[in-house]
Structures are given as C-alpha cells and as structure tokens.
C-alpha cells in the first residue's frame, strides 16, 4: 500500500539542469519519480546515478505529443532555457511551451493531478518596472528572437489559468529568475556557465554590451526548495509567484567575481549585445516570502564556489 504522503511525481524536462536536481530532491523526500525528457538539452548523465533507484523511472518522450500515465503531481519543466538553445529551433520552442502545456494540463485534468508550470522572468520581457512584481504585465517584443520563448511561456501561463478557472484544476505557476549551479550545460551560452568555463580555460570572458545590464542569480538548491514548497502549498494559492534571488549584480561584476574565485588569468572582452537583451532584472520576492515562507539562503559567492568546483571536475 502507498502511504498518503508518497506521491507519484512526473517531472517533464527531468534530465535537464533544474529537473535533474528536482528528481534527486523528490527521491530523497520519498516520492516516486517519473522523469520524462526528449534529451534535446538534457542528458542521461544528469540522471545516471538515479537509474538504479526502484522509485525512479526515465521515459524518453517529447511533450508536444500526448502522454498517458497515472500520476499525482506534475512539474512541467520541459523547454530549452538558454537563448542559444531556444533560438536553435524557435518553432519547436513555442510548440514545446504551448502544445507541451496543453498535453500536460490535459493529463492533469484526466488523472486529477496537481500541476506546476516552470514559468520565467522572461514573461516580463525588458521590464519598465523595477524590481519586477507579479502584478507587472511585462514588456515583451512579440516578434523578436526571444519571443518564441517569452511568448510561449506567456501562453502557457494563460492556459494554466484557463484550466484553473474552467476546470478547477489544481495549478501552481512559478516564475523563475536566472538560476545557476552544478549540471548546467557547459555549452548552453548562459552567462554563469560561459564565464566559469572561460575563466577555467583562461580564455577571454565575453561581456555582451558594456556589461552594465543586471541579473539576480539564484542557486539551484534554493530554487528546488521553492518548487517543492509551492507544490505543497495550499490549493488556494496558485501564483504566479516569483522565485529568485533579489540581490542584483551587473554582468561586469559577475565576470570580475568569477575571475577572482577561479584565480583566472582571463581578460574581459566586449561583444555586441544580443537583440532584445533585458537591461535590468531583479525579482520582488515579497509574495514568495508571504505565501511560501521562502527566501534564498545561498549567496552568489558561495553558490559560485560550488558551481566552479563542479565545472572543474567536469571539464
Ligand atoms: P534545461 O535546458 O537544462 O532543461 C530543459 C529540459 O527540457 C531538458 O532536459 C530538455 O531536454 C527538455 N526538453 C526540451 N524540450 C522538450 C520536449 N519537447 N519534450 C520533452 N523534454 C524536452 O534548462 P533548465 O535551466 O533546467 O530549465 C528548466 C525549466 O525551467 C525550463 O522550462 C525553463 O524555461 C525554466 N526556467 C529556467 C531558468 C533558469 O535560470 N535555469 C529560468 C527561468 C525559467
Ligand atoms: N551575457 C554576457 N556574456 C555571455 C553570456 C551572456 O555578457 O557570455 C549576458 C547576456 O547578454 C545577458 C546576461 O549575460 O545580458 C544573462 O544572459 P543569459 O543568457 O545567462 O540569460 P538571460 O537572462 O539573458 O536569459
């Protein structure tokens, strides 16, 4: 017999960076985990150490196609997340967010599961409000190169709230701000992985633009703790809720910190700023504090040290 608290949990995108950490955390918490992934940006290496666990199962599947399984909770993370990956095949990116959401919401409705959407700070686009709170509707270019991701995620949020209102589905929408940590794809082009890899190889650190644009970086363990708290929160709380670290850094400051922590000989070089690159990003996490009693614990320097250690071993 299964205990009341033992859930069958589906994680789409479970072989990716965040998904694989979440698989580990939920197995540690005693749940049964079904990891579904098409391995577009994720890899079996991220979950290889879990394959022998009888409570863990991996299924290679693309969420743009329907899925028929019996589960209690669904964390919908499937979607390439870094600009170079989501711009590689933008049509598939939009399909993954939109058709993926429709398929996972349909599954949740059929089996009466609770479902969480991994949304993003990108729904705010290049924000005119600072810091960004959940009440801000955003400033997104609908036809730019980031739109396949931003608008796909915005449409997924719309679908989640329509399933909630129309079918009383139990939903949670979490807006993730830049998160980093071990198991980031070394070639995903994201700023933290790029700078660490470049610094460890003593290669030039590529600053796009003048490096004055800001981001706020959340360590992965803080993020997965928030995911699980949100999933376990009262059904009346559906979000959207910002999850991120509200300490803001310029990209140049990040580069200098990475050089210092790696004792690298790398120099900073300037490259053109990508189109529609947001100039400022920082979450207002008041709602997460109030509703989930959550705040990040890991400061940037501490998280970078752990991440650098992992990249040193991996490279
Ligand atoms: P990731 O690329 O490492 O993980 C995404 C996973 O989804 C990969 O394993 C990939 O193979 C899988 N995937 C992609 N398309 C799929 C499809 N059609 N069917 C099945 N699997 C598919 O990225 P991540 O950083 O772990 O991001 C996970 C989720 O969190 C994404 O939805 C992303 O949009 C969201 N998010 C992440 C961040 C961040 O800073 N890491 C910020 C905002 C939002
Ligand atoms: N960036 C940079 N150099 C790099 C990679 C990224 O200066 O090698 C900048 C990028 O232009 C953006 C910020 O770092 O302003 C964060 O980029 P990332 O792709 O990590 O995430 P985003 O928040 O833009 O989705």
The CATH number linked to 238 is: 3.40.50.720
Determine the pLDDT at residue 174. 98
pLDDT at 2 over 80: no
Is 193 within the bounds of a domain?
no
Pocket test for ligand 2, best of 251, 281, 300 (most atoms within 8 A of CB): 251
Tens digits of per-residue pLDDT, 107-163?
Answer: 999 999 999 999 999 999 999 999 999 999 999 999 999 999 999 999 999 999 999
Q: What is the pLDDT of residue 148?
A: 98
Q: Which of 75, 86, 124, 149 is catalytic?
A: 149
Residue 190 C-alpha to ligand 2 middle, in angstroms? 6
Pick from 232, 245, 244: which is nearest to 292 by CA?
Answer: 232
The count of other CB atoms within 10 Å of the CB of residue 257 is 16
> Is residue 24 domain-resident?
yes
Residue 1 domain-assigned? Answer: no
pLDDT at 3 over 70: no
* 79 Cα to the center of ligand 1, angstroms: 4
Please give the distance, rounded to the nearest whole angstrom, from the Cα atom of residue 78 to the centre of ligand 1.
5
Closest-lying ligand to the alpha carbon of 16?
Answer: 1
Cα angle for residues 243, 289, 18 (degrees, 5° grid): 25
Model confidence pLDDT, tens digit, residues 163-203: 999 999 999 999 999 999 999 999 999 999 999 999 999 99
pLDDT of residue 209: 97
Classify residue 201: in a domain, yes or no.
Answer: no
User: What is the pLDDT confidence band of residue 5, given thresholds at 50, 70 and 90?
Assistant: confident
Q: What is the pLDDT, as a whole number, of residue 52?
A: 97
Q: Is 171 contained in some domain?
A: yes
Average confidence (pLDDT) over 212-225: 97
Query: What is the residue range of 53's domain?
Result: 8-179+219-246+282-297
Q: Is residue 140 in some structural domain? A: yes
Q: Which ligand ends up closest to the CA of 44?
A: 1
Mind listing the pLDDT tens digit for each residue in 66-114? 999 999 999 999 999 999 999 999 999 999 999 999 999 999 999 999 9
261 lies in some domain: no
Which of 41, 141, 215, 248 maximizes ligand 2 atoms within 8 Å of its Cβ, making it the mutation to test the pocket? 215
% of the chain residues with pLDDT over 90: 98
What is the pLDDT, as a whole number, of residue 10?
Answer: 98
Q: How far is the CA of 158 from the centre of ligand 2 (A)?
A: 27
- How many angstroms does the Cα of residue 108 sit away from the middle of ligand 1? 20
Q: Using one digit for the tens of pLDDT, what is the confidence trace for 267-309?
A: 999 999 999 899 999 999 999 999 999 999 999 999 999 999 9
Identify the band that residue 1 occupies on the pLDDT scale cut at 50, 70 and 90: very low
The 3-class secondary structure across 222-281, one letter per residue, is HHHHHHHHHHHCCCCCCCCEEECCCCEEEHHHHHHHHHHHHCCCCCEEEECCCCCCCCCC
124 is catalytic: no
Against a cut of 0.85, is the pTM above it? yes
- Residue of 208, 216, 278 to mutate, ligand 2, most atoms within 8 A of C-beta: 208
Q: Which residue reads 């050089």 in tokens?
A: 259
CA 249 – CA 282 distance, rounded (Å): 9
Domain count, the chain: 1
Q: What is the mean pLDDT of the chain?
A: 97
Tokens standing for residue 272: 């053109």
Q: Which atom of ligand 1 is nearest to the CA of 95?
A: 18
Q: Do the domain assignments include residue 209?
A: no
């Amino acid at each position: 017999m299964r205990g009341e608290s033992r859930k069958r949990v589906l994680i789409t995108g479970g072989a990716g960076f965040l998904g694989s950490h979440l698989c580990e955390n939920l197995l540690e918490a005693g749940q049964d985990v079904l990891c579904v992934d098409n391995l577009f940006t994720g890899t079996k290496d991220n979950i290889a150490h879990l394959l022998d666990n009888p409570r863990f199962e991996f299924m290679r599947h693309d969420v743009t196609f329907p899925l028929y399984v019996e589960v209690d909770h669904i964390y919908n993370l499937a979607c390439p997340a870094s600009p170079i990956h989501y711009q590689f095949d933008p049509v598939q990116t939009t399909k993954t967010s939109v058709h993926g959401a429709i398929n996972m919401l349909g599954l949740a409705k059929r089996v009466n599961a609770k479902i969480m959407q991994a949304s993003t700070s990108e729904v705010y686009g290049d924000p005119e409000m600072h810091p960004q709170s959940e009440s801000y509707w955003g400033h997104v270019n609908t036809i730019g190169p980031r739109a396949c991701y931003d608008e796909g995620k915005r449409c997924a949020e719309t679908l989640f709230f329509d399933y909630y209102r129309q079918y009383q589905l139990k939903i949670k929408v979490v807006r993730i701000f830049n998160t980093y940590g071990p198991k980031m794809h070394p070639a995903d082009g994201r700023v933290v992985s790029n700078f660490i890899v470049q610094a460890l190889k003593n290669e030039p650190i590529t600053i796009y633009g003048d490096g004055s644009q800001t981001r706020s970086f959340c360590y992965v363990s803080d993020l997965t703790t928030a995911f699980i708290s949100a999933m376990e929160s009262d059904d009346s709380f559906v979000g959207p809720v910002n999850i991120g670290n509200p300490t803001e850094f310029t990209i140049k400051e990040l580069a200098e910190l990475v050089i210092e922590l790696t004792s690298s000989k790398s120099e900073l070089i300037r490259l053109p700023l990508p189109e529609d690159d947001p100039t400022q990003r920082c979450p207002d996490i008041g709602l997460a504090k109030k509703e989930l009693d959550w705040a990040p614990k890991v400061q940037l320097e501490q998280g970078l040290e752990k991440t650098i250690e992992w990249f040193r071993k991996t490279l």
